[in-house]
Amino acid sequence: MNAISNARPFNVPGFWPIAAAMCSRWLGAGRAPALAWRDDLIARAIAAIRAGQAEQAAQLLAYHEDSLARDPAFLNLAGVLAEARGHHDAARRFYGLSIAIDPHHTPSQENMRRLFELNAFGQSAVRVALGDEDALAALAGDARREISQVRTMPSRQLNRISRILTSS
């Protein structure tokens, strides 16, 4: 045999590294739809709270309480709903648990701060944080950007657009 036939072209991994890679791929593929499902549920609950339908949001979240029990966004919304019902101690516990799970969860930190200010000073300038404030700020920024683009548009284009809109 010559040296070329004895040489290994690449290092073939053993059984366990292959099995681990397959399992991590398989688990990773199963995790993405669960996150999309969770994000959709949280978004629907936030929309219900913003629409003044706190009971509907509570029902949405209560149905999935077991699967989301360690989710900071879920715990924050549970705290908001408890606070809306007047259960401030329960709200404080929900916010605290959310912060304990994820110390960087800003909505829970803001809500805990607001509760502290309400208890210590009787008032707070901090609003209830649901977790979608960044998205709302981005939407507002996009709207301002579009308005500024309209302002900088040449008058010929504005006239053409206004004629199109008034003719129909």
| Whole-number pLDDT of residue 52 | 92
Domains and CATH numbers, the chain: 20-131 (1.25.40.10), 132-168 (no CATH)
* pLDDT at residue number 116: 94
- For the segment 7-55, what is each residue's pLDDT rounded down to a tens digit? 333 333 345 655 565 565 566 543 444 578 888 999 999 999 999 999 9
Residue with tokens 């009971």: 55
In the predicted model, residues of the chain with pLDDT beneath 50 are 1-14, 29-33
Buried b / exposed e over 40-55, threshold 16 CB at 10 Å, is ebbeebbebbeeeeee
Nearby residues of 125 by Cβ (< 8 Å), 6 or more positions away: 117
pTM (2 d.p.): 0.64
